[in-house]
Amino acid sequence: MSQPTHSSRRILLPVRQWFIVFTLLLALFLSLIPLGHAIGIPDWVALVLAFWSVREPLRVGMGAAFVLGVLMDVAAGSVMGQHALAYLLLTYGASSLSRRVLWFPLGQQALHILPMLLATQIVMVVTRLVGGADFPGFGYFLGSFTGALLWYPLTFVLLLPQYQPIEKDENRPI
């Protein structure tokens, strides 16, 4: 099955707004699972937010990023505004690069997503270091790499409701 990109010939159904909201809330729920300081766990909210910002830049905006960020701040017990700021910059970056990123096949899309996720984490580290916290060690950044690796399966899962059954029609051009 070929993945739909700008260059592929697969046509997708339009996305439903409730599905975007649902997946963002599901990502928030995944982030609430207490795993302590286990390293290499991706930031699910950042990942799904980046996905929808790249895919549907007009449907996911700064407001959603800000609200999710504040929720994550409370859930993680971190400083208020830390996640909010990082997610805002991520959403802005991802939606402004959306046209460019979608042009590439999925593997190279992941290479675009990796620096965005890393930048999100760096923003958080800088905010906390300014606030006087301890540096968590470089293992902290491993989460971004796992996130980038998950880009392919994530795209498949999140686009599942938009695939339409393939009808074989010889008279149709595409």
Size of the site for another protein (CB under 8 A): 44
Find all residues with CB under 8 Å of 121, minimum gap 6, and list them.
43, 86, 140, 141, 143, 144
Check binding of 31 to another protein (CB under 8 A).
yes
Stretch that binds another protein, among 11-19, 56-64, 104-112, 152-160 (CB under 8 A): 56-64
Tell me how far apart the 2 most distant CA atoms of the chain are, in Å: 67
The tokens for 48 are 């799904």
Check binding of 128 to another protein (CB under 8 A).
yes
Check binding of 36 to another protein (CB under 8 A).
yes
Check binding of 138 to another protein (CB under 8 A).
no
Among 11, 74, 111, 149, binds another protein (CB under 8 A): 74
Among 12, 13, 32, 111, binds another protein (CB under 8 A): 32
CB of 133 to another protein, least distance (A): 4
Residue 139 CA: distances (Å) to CA of 7, 113, 121: 36, 19, 12
What are the residues binding another protein (CB under 8 A)?
28-37, 58, 61-63, 65-66, 69-71, 74-82, 84-85, 88-89, 92, 95-96, 125, 127-128, 131-134, 136, 140
